Amino acid sequence: MRGEEAKIIAIYYAAIPDMLKEFRRQKSDIEDEYYNGIRGINMDGMPHGSNPGRPTELFGVAAAENDAGRRLAEIETRIRVLERDRELIGDSIDALNGKYKKLLSLRYQHDYSWTKISFRMGKPDSTVRNWHDRALERLGGAPGDGPMGGEILLRASRARK
């Protein structure tokens, strides 16, 4: 894998927490809309079927009509894939030398400028940029060459669009 592909994966890695947060919010919204009324609890602690005037059957019919179960399953799958990608890419980044790992973290996770990075690392801007290129080369040899590397790159490329 080339350095540019590793850069795409590093950007994707930094975006995964926000994507996970959004999918979990969508999942919660679907559950609130269709299922939490079915699983509700009365004030006395006893389970009830629905809000007053809205029978449990209506929640079930609405969930079926809107394909809520399939949508929840799809979201769960996406969450599992993102968590696995985060783990694989994180392991690859963790395997890098300390300065390369720190540099990639500052650049892609914290979105620091080159000036801020060189100040934080106490090195000239040109040195930091050279380290960045080396870090991407070393990262490029890790997740992209593994069994799922091509799939991760494909998902990372799609996530940028």
- The whole-number pLDDT of residue 142 equals 57
Q: What are the CB-based long-range contacts (under 8 Å, 24+) for 55-62?
A: 59/34, 59/35, 62/34
- pLDDT of amino acid 117: 93
* Mean pLDDT, 10 residues at a time, the chain of 161 residues: 81 92 91 63 53 58 74 92 92 87 89 92 93 86 58 81 52
How far is the C-alpha of 29 from the C-alpha of 44, rounded, in Å?
A: 26
pLDDT for 68 equals 77
What is the reported pLDDT for 62? 66
pLDDT value of residue 147 = 47
Distance CA 137, CA 25 (A): 35
pLDDT score of 22: 95
Say what the pLDDT of residue 113 is. 92
Angle of helix 114-121 relative to helix 125-140, nearest 10 degrees?
A: 100
How large is the C-alpha radius of gyration of the chain? 22
